[in-house]
Every structure is written in C-alpha cells, then in structure tokens.
Structure 1
Amino acid sequence: MDSAYHALRQLARYWETFRDKDDPHMSPAVTALEAALWTGRAARVHVILNGTPAPSILGAASHEMFGTVILAWVSATTWQRLAPIAGPAPKPSKHGGRGHVIQHGEVHETQAIWMTDADVVTWLTDPDDTQS
C-alpha cells in the first residue's frame, strides 16, 4: 500500500461521510487491512506498507503488526513509534540512500539502491544490460 497514511485517512474520512447510523464506526476497508496486518505475520503473509501507519486509525501498537520495519529519514518520534524496541533513533546520515532495517529488535544499517522506474524495468527485463 503506497502512501499509507493518506490512504488510511481518506478511507476513514470517506466512511465517516457515507456510513449509516447502524454501520460500524470503523471503515470496513481499514478493519480488513488491520486484520490482514495482524494475521499476516502469523500466516507468513507479507504486507508492504509505504508510509507511516497512522496510530489514530490503526491503533497505537501498529509497530507490532510488522515483522520487519525499514526506516529512512524519519524523526525521533516516528522512530520511537514504529521501532520502540530498537532503542533511540540513530543520528541522520549525510549519505543519501541510507536506511535502517529493524528485525527482532536489532537495527541494521543498509544502503538503498537509487533507480528510476525505467532503470528498474531494464534491470528486471534485461539481465545482460551492464549499464544498470
């Protein structure tokens, strides 16, 4: 799910606008996503969520829904919300493309590969291309 924070906020706002009195308070789409996220780890289903999971929508323990958290360029507050077991946020790097992978409470610094959409398509479709 790309731009998760905005998508979840829009789903919640849409539901508040169009739901009937007898309908549940939470949007069925948000409820389904939350169920998939909680069940996903137990069933080994992988969910990729790009963006900050809004605690006001998914709940305060949203960090527990993810077995692996990848963070780059986040505030200390966001770090503490999404990776509290990993300790304090590391100092920002001056090198572009640096990120942190958090698994089982351990932080691993990593380097991301910067590619355009065209670069990715070439890399995936033409393994003999030495330019990508």
Structure 2
Amino acid sequence: MDSANATLSRLARYWETFRSQDDPKTSPAITALEDALWSGRAARVHIILDGTPRTSVLGAAAHELFATVILARVMADTWQRLAPLAGPAPKQRHMQRGRFHVVQHGEAHETQAIWMTDADVVNWLTDPDDPAS
C-alpha cells in the first residue's frame, strides 16, 4: 500500500462520512487490513506499507505485527516511534544514495540498495549467469 498514512486516513474519513447508523464504527477496509496483519504470518501473507501508519487509524497493537521495518533518511523521533527496540537513531554519516536501515528483532542493519534500470532487472532475471548483469 503506497502512502499508507494518507490512504488509511482517507479511508477512515470516507467511512465516517458515508456510513449509516447500523454500520460498524471502523471502516471494513481498515478492519480487513488489521485482520490480514494479525493472521499474515501464519498464512504467509506479506504486507508492505509505504509510509508511517498512524496508531490512531490502524491501532497501536497492529504496529507490532510488522516483522521488518525499513527506514531511510528519517528523523530521530520517527526512528523512536517505528523502531524503539533498535535503540537511538544512528548518526547520519553520509548522504550516500541507496543507504537505509533494516530493523528486525530489535536490531538495525545498515544496508545498500541495488540500483538497476528496468533493462538491467530483465537481463538479470532472464540470464543470471551473464557477467554483464
């Protein structure tokens, strides 16, 4: 889900505007996302959210269900909100493109993304033994 924060907020606002009295208070779309998060690991479902889902919309407990958090160029307060078990935000040593942190099991690992064009990806996937890819 791209721009998760804005999308979830808009879903909640839309539901508040158009729901009838007998409908549940929470949007069925948000409830379905929470259900998928709760059963996702057991069902081998992977949910990828781009953005910072607010706890006021998604719920604080659902935040804990993300096994991996990927953070790039974030401020210290965002780091503390999304990866508190990984300790304080690391100091920005350099602004090298493609650097980010993968946080799993309370540990942060600095990682370098691979920069590829669409043609590079197609070549790499179709002929992984090609030394040019």
| TM-score, structure 1 as length reference | 0.85
The correspondence of residues 47-126 of structure 1 with structure 2, limited to 5 A, is 47-92=47-92, 93-117=94-118, 119-125=120-126
The residue identity in structure 2 corresponding to 1:108 is: H
Give 5+ residue unaligned stretches, structure 2: none
- 1:40 aligned residue: 40
Contact 1:80 1:89 in 2 (8 A): yes
| TM-score, structure 2 as length reference | 0.84
Contact 2:5 2:51 in 1 (8 A): yes
Identical columns (%): 73
Shift of 1:117: 4.8
Deviates more, 1:56-65 or 1:9-18: 56-65
Give 5+ residue unaligned stretches, structure 1: none
Shift of 1:43: 3.4
The residue identity in structure 1 corresponding to 2:98 is: G
RMSD: 2.0
Alpha-carbon distance in 2 for matches of 1:78, 1:53:
11
- 2:26 aligned residue: 26
Residue 121 and residue 10 in structure 1: after superposition, are their counterparts in 2 closer, same or farther (change >3 A)?
Answer: farther
Larger Cα-atom Rg:
2
